[in-house]
Structure 1
Amino acid sequence: MPKLARTERHRLADLLTAAGPDAPTLCTGWTTRDLAAHLVLRERRPDAAAGIQLRALAGWTARVQGRYAARPYQELVRTFRGGPPTLSPFALPGADEAANTVEYFVHAEDVRRAGAGAGEPQEISAELSAALWRRLPMVARLEAGRRSPVRLVLARSGAAGGRIEVGPAGGERVEVTGEPGELVLFAGGRGARSRVAVDGSPAAVEALAGALPLPGERA
């Protein structure tokens, strides 16, 4: 099976290198330097990485991330490109692929779509597209499903088809159609820069727009 997480890791490292340390990203308030520091912290400091999800520990996470961000930028990117250290949880067999395929794809697009190449189409492999589709239900439940005020139907475009539903049952529904990578970006809060079609009643779409960015909105 292709090592998709490793491929996306190197793509992300290449994009970070090309962008330089002060470029914008789609992560609110973060430059590429901040994103690189986050990536290194996440797989090298599990004690501090807990604050990414736990608000009570967010201050500790921010302090440690700040120390990483103060390091030379190219050193940070090289460290990230080199992969997790032996004792990192991400070094366990299968952990990198399971935990990082979506993470690195999304962050690579955070860099790419905030920069000069934002309007250019990005082709991804059939293997990566399939992997993103398999992981979409989890991303959608954790992100879009919690925030959406309407029943959200995420439909895969093209011959492969397929659809998943998240959000409150009953009432208004909105269907969002696109390729798996675009749906992952939408579900992860990058809808303003995603290439998806949104279909629903004006009232339902307006309600959704109040909770999640939609295509064409300011990121």
Structure 2
Amino acid sequence: MSTTRELPLDARERLDLCDLLDDLGPDAPTLCEGWTTLDLAAHLVLREHFSKWTEPKLTVEKAKGLPALTARLRAGAPLIPWRIPGLRNLLNGTEYLIHHEDIRRANGLAPRTDRPDLDKIAWATARLTAWGTARKIRPHGLELRTPAGETRHYGPAGGAVLTGAPVELLLYLSGRREAALAELTGDPEAVTALDD
């Protein structure tokens, strides 16, 4: 791998993702419906370098090929807003974490257990994401639980309970339910509301 532990989380995750893209090639599946690794790499380049992008722009980027796209990603994100201290991990670290898992899980690779820094950013982001999810299932509440005993409540008690490692909770809350190793329990009505 091309990463070092001295790099910020978002930069390490970016480089690790590029290594995986290079290993798998342009036609490997992802959890993003209808997208291959080439589509996902083009999306990441466009996201960082264009304020608005369209399908024609995605097609143009994809035509450059995966090696060109990974080279551009390896070069790093523009300074504003992607590398602003304090925001870089929330904005870009989370994006690269989720898309890295999109590729890993779609290709049968196990969850990473050697990166506690990923759990830290995933827990922070999952807690923010859960606010929106909890609003959607009102009047039911939502509780997040980790194996380490961390909990966070949203709304009334006795609702849906989502349990898993922070990365798994983040994947579940970001729409990757089938791939997330998380358990949903609690009030049947709340569970049904969350699953809809």
- Length-normalised TM-score, structure 2: 0.85
Question: Alignment partner for residue 47 of structure 2, among 37, 42, 49?
Answer: 42
Alignment of 1:135-214 (within 5 A): 135-142=125-132, 144-145=133-134, 147-148=136-137, 150-158=140-148, 161-166=149-154, 169-170=155-156, 173-210=159-196
Task: Indicate the larger mover: 18-27 or 62-71.
Answer: 62-71
Q: Equivalents in 2 of 1:148, 1:2: separation in Å?
A: 39
Name the CA shift for 1:14/1:163 in 2 (closer, same or farther; >3 Å): same
Q: Which residue of 2 aligns with 1:83?
A: 76
| Correspondence for 1:134 | 124
* Aligned residue in 1 for 2:88: 96
Q: Which runs of 5+ in 1 are unaligned?
A: 49-59, 211-219
Q: Is the 8 A contact 2:137 2:190 kept in 1?
A: no
Q: Is residue 71 of structure 1 aligned with residue 64 of structure 2?
A: yes
Of 37-46 and 128-137, more deviation after overlay is shown by 128-137
The one-letter code matched in structure 2 to 1:165 is H
Match of 1:33 in 2: 38
Alignment match, 2:101: 109
Bigger share in helix: 1
Question: In 2 relative to 1, CA 64–128 (structure 1 residues): closer, same or farther, beyond 3 Å?
Answer: same
2:170 and 2:60 mapped to 1: Cα distance? 31
Secondary structure of the residue aligned to 1:189 is coil
Letter in 1 for 2:38: R
Query: What one-letter code is carried by the residue in structure 2 that aligns with 1:197?
Result: E
Task: Say what the alpha-carbon RMSD is for the aligned residues.
Answer: 2.3
> Are 1:125 and 2:115 an aligned pair?
yes
User: Which ranges in structure 2 are unaligned for 5 or more consecutive residues?
Assistant: 1-5
Using the TM superposition, give the Cα deviation of residue 107 of structure 1 relative to its aligned residue in structure 2, in angstroms: 0.3
